[in-house]
Structure 1
C-alpha cells in the first residue's frame, strides 16, 4: 500500500505542476489546466494549489488526479513512479530512491539560493535607481561620488533588473553565474565608496 503522507511531504503541488508542463509567470502563477485559461489564475502556496477562476484546489495528489483523470491511488502511483520515490515497490529506503530524493533536494536548495539572491539583487538595483533619481533632481548642484556612480550605472542596472524580472531562465542563470561583477559595483555604490 502506498503512503499518501509521504508523497504529500515530498512533492508539492508546484513540483507536480512543473513536472507535468506548467509554465510559471514571475509571480509563480500558471495557466490552469482544468479550464480554458488565457491568463494565469492558478497559484501555489504551502504545497497546495488553487485556481482563482474555476475553484480547483488541493495538493500534488489532487492536481495529478485531476490532470490525468485518475483516482487518488492511481495518482499516488503515478507521482511515485514519475518522481522516482520508490514507495510502490516497498523499497523507499533503496539506494536509488534515496539518490533521487537527494538530487531533488539539492535542486530545490539551489533554486532557493537563486531566488534569495535574485530578490536581494532586485532590492539593490532598486536602491541604485532611487539614488540616481534623487541625484538627477539635485542637478546642477555638485553630486557625491556615490551619486555619480549611480548615474553612471543606471542604464546597466535597468537592463539587469529587466533580466531578473522578465528574462528567460537561461538569461537569469547566466547572470547568476556572473554575479560577482554586478555585486562589486552595486556594493561600491550602496556603501558610498
Structure 2
C-alpha cells in the first residue's frame, strides 16, 4: 500500500480541515475556504466538494490546495502533523510503543469529536424543543383567553406560568450564551430540560381537555334547566 493510500486510511478530509481551522456545521456543511463563500456551500466528510466553485477531492487534495503543496509534501505534512505511524522512504518513523501511543491519542481525538458532535446536536435539538414548548404555552394561553375565571386558574396553568421564564433563560443560553454556559447546561440540567418540557406539554393538554369538559358540563346543565 502506498503512503497516499495509508494516509487516507487514517484521516478524512473533515478531520484534516477541522485540524487546520475550518468550522464545519451540522451535516458536514461548511463555508468553502477556496473562494469568497458567504453562504456555506461545501459538503465535507471523507472527501469534500464545493457546490459553488466546484473544487473537491480527498484529504490529501484538501491539504495540498489549502497550503499550496505538492501531493507528496501534503502527505508528509499530514504524517507529521497527525503523527501517523507510516513509513516514509523506507524508514519506519515510529516504533511499536510510539504506534500504540499514537493509536491511543487518535482514539481520544475521535472520542472528543464524538462528544462535541453530540453536544452540538443536543444544543440544536433543545432549541427546537424549547421553541415548540413556548408555542404550546402560547396555544394554551390563547385557548384560555376570554374563558371564565374558573377555567383559567388551575395548578396546570400555574405550572406553565412558572416554566416560561425558565424556558426563556435556557433559550438565551443556547442561542447567545458562552460555550461554557451551554456546556454547564448540558452537563447539569439536560434531564431537567426534558422533564420541564414534558410537564408543560402535559399541563397544556390537560388545560384544554378540562376546559372543554367544563364547557360541555355547563351546556348540559343549561339544557336540563331549559327542560
In structure 2, list runs of 5 or more residues that go unmatched. 207-227
Bigger helix share: 2
Q: Which runs of 4+ in 1 moved over 6 A?
A: none
Measure, in 1, the Cα distance between the counterparts of 2:108 and 2:60.
21
Q: 1:75 to 1:121 in 2, by over 3 A?
A: same
1:62-101 → structure 2 map (5 Å cutoff): 62-88=61-87, 89=92, 91=94, 94-101=99-106
1:122-161 → structure 2 map (5 Å cutoff): 122-140=127-145, 141=147, 142=151, 145-146=155-156, 148-161=158-171
Task: Using the TM superposition, give the Cα deviation of residue 21 of structure 1 relative to its aligned residue in structure 2, in angstroms.
Answer: 1.4
In structure 1, list runs of 5 or more residues that go unmatched. none
RMSD (CA atoms)? 3.1
Q: Which residue of 1 aligns with 2:115?
A: 110
Measure, in 1, the Cα distance between the counterparts of 2:95 and 2:143.
65
> What is the TM-score with the length of structure 2 in the denominator?
0.67
SS at match of 1:35: coil
Question: 1:80–1:87: 8 Å Cα contact kept in structure 2?
Answer: yes
- Per-residue CA distance 1:125-176 (angstroms, 9 max, x = gap): 1331231121122123335755553443334324433543555433322321
Kindly name which structure, 1 or 2, has the bigger radius of gyration based on alpha carbons: 2
Measure, in 2, the Cα distance between the counterparts of 1:55 and 1:177.
41
Question: 2:12–2:47: 8 Å Cα contact kept in structure 1?
Answer: yes
- Per-residue CA distance 1:60-86 (angstroms, 9 max, x = gap): 222111001122222222122212222
Aligned residues: 192
SS at match of 1:80: helix
Matched, 1:20 2:20: yes
Question: 1:146–1:190: 8 Å Cα contact kept in structure 2?
Answer: no
Q: 1:99 to 1:155 in 2, by over 3 A?
A: same
> What is the TM-score with the length of structure 1 in the denominator?
0.77
